[in-house]
Each structure stands twice: as structure tokens, then as C-alpha cells.
Amino acid sequence: MREFFLPVIHSALLSAGIMTEKPINIEQPADKKFGDFSTNIALLAAKECRKNPRELAQTVIEHLIFPKDTISKIEVAGAGFINFYLAPLFIMQSVEQVLFDGDEYGKGSIGKGEKAVVEYVSANPTGPLTIGRGRGGVLGDCIANLFDAQGYEVTREYYFNDAGRQMQILGESVRLRYMERCGKAIEFPATHYQGEYIGEIAELMYQDHGTALAESTEVPIFKKRAEEIIFASIRKTLERLSIRHDSFFNEHTLYMPDEAGITANQRVIDKLRANGFISEYDGATWFQTTKLGQEKDKVLIKSSGEPSYRLPDIAYHITKFERGFSMIVNVFGADHIDEYPDVVEALKILGYDTRRIKVAINQFVTTTVDGQTLKMSTRKGNADLLDDLIDDVGADATRLFFIMRSKDSHLNFDVELAKKQSKDNPVFYLQYAHARICSLLRMAQQEIGFDPASSPDRHLLQLLNSPAELQLGFALLDYPDMIKTSLRLLEPQKMVEYLHALAEFFHRFYQECPILKAEQDVAKARLFLSLATRQVLRNGFRILGVSAPESM
RNA sequence: GUGCCCGUAGCUCAAUGGAUAGAGCAUCAGCCUUCUAAGCUGAGGGUUACUGGUUCGAGUCCAGUCGGGCGCACCA
């Protein structure tokens, strides 16, 4: 709706001879008594125009020219707000629009012709996914959906490394458990992976090889098998949440020489050196971030000759630019907060447009059962495994709970609440609204022969003018803006809140307005409104990756 | 010590710099011979951690203080 008001206000300012640099804000007042939309332009411009805001607002109003039958009232209020009230029929035409666009309703074209890469999860295959990873996974998936809804060509990418030290330790951990299984006495270091899954992998290898590998000190065969099994389990877990990546980028490729015999990592060093940001001391190669005002330089190549994680990270991001992505989105947890600024600095030095990079960082998750906070620990127990959580509360609740709070806030995952089949549980509240509409429509087809494939005309839409109906219709009108806002903030939580409000408005409408028992035309009009609500709920659920049950 | 996030009703959380700070849960009071009561309506509940500042206007921005979380490796 911003696009609707902006040009009209802009030309009103021009024709009224009001010159201002201030932006034209279109907002929705929290309270409907201040209109459906309002602008504060008179308040903002008052000073530079040396005029009283209310007078200025009055002048603006006199020059506003809206299309016929769209606005029912315009007024100056408060200190100088201009409030707009939409005409009921204009609001209700959203019903027509929703039904016409169907699954496409709400989609936009901000990203038309642009390629976006959204990187998320990106856990190395050292163990099963934890609940904390799950939050980032769902957040990333929803963000990818939002980009997709705005016309971006989206690649969902998973970045991983099967070469580094952690993977070496993984292989060694499995080897030790295997030896143990073969009856040998072992000493299992505390630095190694303690989880039960290590023993399970060792058991599988014992079943395949018997004791044939018992004398071997070779780690790679154990590492490789562990990686295969763990990666398969990670993908299976993600699949349960409908998270599917298009691309798995192995960090290892950055260590491989190209035709000219140079690795991507080496190219980064060369270019940074040419720009004067590389120095060598203490046997290592450093990125001179002290030149950028940081306290310490950062190691790019360790004295062992191996790159530290930062170097391939920079090289990896260069591939994102080189692969033609104009929008580069990274989703990760708060524990990686210090990871990206160095990468961005390096890319800036190398001449890349880092404004194209967006980072979404999610805060941590704690789970509570019966009000007791479970301490998350990878070392002990399975209490923090994502799979166990999905077993417990289901995929829909898992997804919705992960994104129903702002990503900047710590998430308190109440397992008991997520399992509840009542209105306390936001998942059921939302899905119940959808199921209720489905049930209503089934009944309508039987009882009054309503055809959901038909479309409403102006006459029918005019019958929808009670407060509950207008509130619901207005929410439908608002959906496209909701997608834009969620995307701009990289915050699917906005969509959850919106859908919760939409469901609430529907329940209220359902309560206050008899449908099948109403006079025939009114009944039809209300059914179309219900049908459109169902469509928007579905479209929103699709963005969030939550299912839309036909009955409950 | 330092970087980032958070501090809002008893609890879990909202609020693009706007108007009287809102929902849900919990508590209390109502609404089903009627389309799914897994629902709806109403009531009570607040010095937005604290102190200053910027602004016509601050929960929101800035500075500082106090609390909580996460980082601060030649791990990723």
C-alpha cells in the first residue's frame, strides 16, 4: 500500500509548493481510530517550511488527489498527522485480488533478475544436528523463502569442510571406539567426540570389517565412513523439517590448484599482499587488521602451513561474487559473531561491493520442560539433539517455535507448550483457523452449493461492511507489505505475528458473522472472504514451511 | 578487560522515532438446542533496569551505570 500513497502525497507536496527533503513515511496507526494509514510528513517538514504542522497538513490535504472510491475520509489529527481511512469496498477488493492471484498473492518483484545465495546450517559433519543449529536452519530456510517470494533466483547453500582438524579428531574417535569394540584396551581422550553415535559408527564398521582393521593406525578410512554416515543423518534430519539445500560447497575445493596451479586461498593472500595487508611473523601469515583499527592481526596461514578458517572463508565469499550472486545472505548463530567482520573487511579491500552481503545472526536456544531449563551439552546425553525435539513435538511446532521470536532474542523453547493441542499453542491456533475454514467450505458446498472456483462481484463485496469483516479484509490487503517487511528485516517472526493476527481476525469474524445461515448473497460474500483468508493463510504457511491441515 | 545481543505486565514475548506501550498464558467474569468452544467477549495487572542527552515527539537514537547471554585461538 506504500506504493499507493507515495505518488499521491508526493504530487500533493509539489502542487502545494512544499519543498522538503524529508522522507514520506506511510505508517499504520496502532489504533484504528487514527485511520487505516497515516503520514507524519507535515510534522517532519514543519520546521524547514517555518509553518505550524497542523496548518501544513491541512494544505497538503487540499492538494491530495486519490483515485475514485478508494479513500473514505482524510483528516488532520494530533500534532499534525494526516490520517487516511480506506473505503470499505476498496478494502474488500482485496478478496477479489487474493482469489485471482491464488498461490501467487503477496509475491513481489523486488529481486526480479537477481540471483541470491542464502547460506545456512553449514555444520561440519562431526555429529548430529543440535537444537541450536535447528534454529538457524529454519531461520535460513524461511529467509530463503522470502527472497524467493520477491522474485530472486535463490540458491540455498550449505558450506562444509571435511578436511580440517575437527574431522581428523572425528576419525580418530571412531577408530578408538572400533578398537575398543575389537576388545582392545583404549584410552579415550576428553578432547575427542564423546557422543554415543561414535560408538554406533564403530559398531557398523565392526560389522563390515570384523577385526580386520584392528591393527591399523590409518585414520582416513574411519573418517570417511563417519562423514558419510553423519552427513546422511544430518540431511535426513533437515529433510524432516523440509529443509533442502540446492548446493553443498566443500571448503576443500578452495585448497585445490586451478589450471594455473594456484589455489583460491593463495589468490586471496596474493591480492591482499598486493594491497599491503599481509605480513609474516612468528612463522605465520597474518591479515593486518591492525591497519583497520583492530587490536590484533588475524592469522590466515598457521605456522604449520595450514590455512586458518578465515582464509578459505574469504575465498569462499569471493566465489559467491564470482558465481554472479548479487545478494549474499549468511545465516548463523551468535557464537560466530566475530567471524564475518574480518571477511567483509578483506572483501572490501579486494574491491567487492560488500553492501550486497547481509548477515542474519540468531541468538541461542534453551529448552524448558516443566519449567526446568535443560542445559545443552554436546558431550552428554541426547537432550539437545534436533531429531529428539522433532520426535517430541513434530516438525510444524519445531519450525514455528524457532521463528516465532525475534532472532535477536534468546529463544525459550517450551517443549510442553509445543506439544499441547490447544489454543495456548500458537501452532494449533494458526492451523485451526485454516482447518475451520476448510470445514466451513465443505459444508457450504453441501448445504448451499457454493462453488469455490467462482468469483465475487462488486455487489457481493459491498455487502461486507461490518467491523469484523473489514478488519479481516484489511489484513488480507496487508499481506504483500508483510512479506516485504519480513524480508527487509530478515525476520520471519514478523510473518508469524501477522498470521496470528489474521487467524484471530478470522475467528472473530466467524464468531460474529453467521455465514451459512445468512441471507443468500451475504452468505456467498462471507464465503468468498473466508476463501480468501484461507488462501493467505496457506501462502503464509508456505513461507514459514508449516503445513496447512484440511481438518483437525 | 573488550565486541555483539538482550533487559517491557506474575510468566513467554510484541511495538518501520509517533498519538492512551500491546498480545498470549496465568487470575477473575461471561458466550455452544445454531457453520469445528482446538473458538469468541470483557476485567484487573506497567515509573519500558537506572541516570543524563538529542528531538515537536524516545521502549526505540546517543553517552554512561547496573544486570543476563554469546564470543574474544596459529578451533571452525
Summarize pLDDT for A355-392 with one digit per residue, the tens: 999 999 999 898 887 667 765 544 444 458 899 899 98
Which of A29, A58, A36 shows the shortest CA–CA distance to A46?
A58
Which residues are CB-contacts of A323 (< 8 A; sequence separation ≥ 6)?
A115, A117
How far apart, in whole angstroms, are the C-alpha atoms of residue A149 and residue A110?
A: 9
Q: What are the contacts of A375-378 at 24+ separation with CB within 8 A?
A: A376/A130, A376/A131, A376/A132, A378/A127, A378/A130, A378/A194, A378/A195
CATH class belonging to A115-160+245-362: alpha beta
The pLDDT of residue A380: 44
Does this chain's domain A92-109+423-544 share its CATH topology with A115-160+245-362?
no
For chain A, the structural domain boundaries read 2-86, 92-109+423-544, 115-160+245-362, 165-240
Contact (CB, 8 A) for A537 and A430: yes
Q: What is the pLDDT of residues A383-418, one digit of tens each?
A: 588 998 999 889 999 999 999 999 999 898 888 888
How far apart, in whole angstroms, are the C-alpha atoms of residue A168 and residue A170?
A: 5
The ipTM value here is: 0.94
Contact (CB, 8 A) for A35 and A29: yes
Q: What is the pLDDT of residues A291-318, one digit of tens each?
A: 888 888 999 999 999 899 899 999 999 9
Any atom of strand B under 7 A from CB of A375?
Answer: no
Q: What is the pLDDT of residues A178-194, one digit of tens each?
A: 999 999 988 888 888 88
Beta sheet of A284-287, edge-to-edge order: A278-281, A284-287, A298-301
Residues A2-86, CATH architecture: 2-Layer Sandwich (3.30)
Which bases of chain B are contacted by protein, using any atom under 7 A from a CB? 3-7, 12-16, 18-26, 34-41, 56-57, 68-76
How far apart, in whole angstroms, are the C-alpha atoms of residue A168 and residue A162?
A: 9
**Opening angle at CA A263, ends A261 and A269, nearest 5:** 120
Nucleotide of closest approach to A363 (CA, C1'): B5
CATH of domain A92-109+423-544: 1.10.730.10
Tell me the CA–C1' distance in angstroms for A371 and B27.
19
Any atom of strand B under 7 A from CB of A391?
Answer: no
Q: What is the pLDDT of residues A254-264, one digit of tens each?
A: 999 989 999 99
Which of A338, A253, A270 shows the shortest CA–CA distance to A298?
A338
